[in-house]
Structure 1
């Protein structure tokens, strides 16, 4: 049922705005939609492919972290490559089309992955914290805070 008729300008603006939708078996699981509405409030065409990929990855990382307990931190695996898994310590982009990930691999070696957005395919993973007594590192919160501060 249609509640109201949009003007051509309203329709074009709504079509340009990013949308996200998810359904989970657990209705209490945090969804990406609320976060997407907060951080991705500019039309997609106003952003480079790198910036757009960067912002959406932040949303997914932050949302994933909300499901973790105090014993785990977020890590990222790279699908379709032998790069393995890195504990995420930082992330960035270089317009128009490069996304960069900083962290450590499973052996504790410093790792940086520079990837073209057309090759982007990642898997978020929960890894045990490195230091048992320390609070878990939540990079998603810092990344989102940086985005909101721009």
Structure 2
């Protein structure tokens, strides 16, 4: 071995890999580009310390739910507190204002309910069921929000790179 070579333990290699990966793959697109969400924020050191592949799905989902709850609460005023509803109940309809994912198994929907209350649905991919429904826009004199166009535009920005990589072309 030359003087610059080092022998690393398996634990050191895992720690190095965890530190090199700033965060797992996550994406979100909102109708309002100024919205801040959990998918965009760096992972706290306490969560990033242990590599994702060493976590159980339950542990990893729990940690991401904490991030979502923290981010949601940061957007509340002093007159409101967080509550939770469960999918599959009679929780009503949500106006979709944002959609995101967090690998490996969570999809989240941002929006408001029929009364205008801010809502967010966080769902495991194995439980994913979506019904799309047209609702009257909230303010008659404003243009309707079109999240679908923003989602497609975001996908199109990445499509050429993915296509080139898939075919091995540059």
- TM-score, length-normalised on structure 2? 0.41
- Give the structure with higher Rg (CA): 2
Which structure is higher in strand share?
Answer: 1
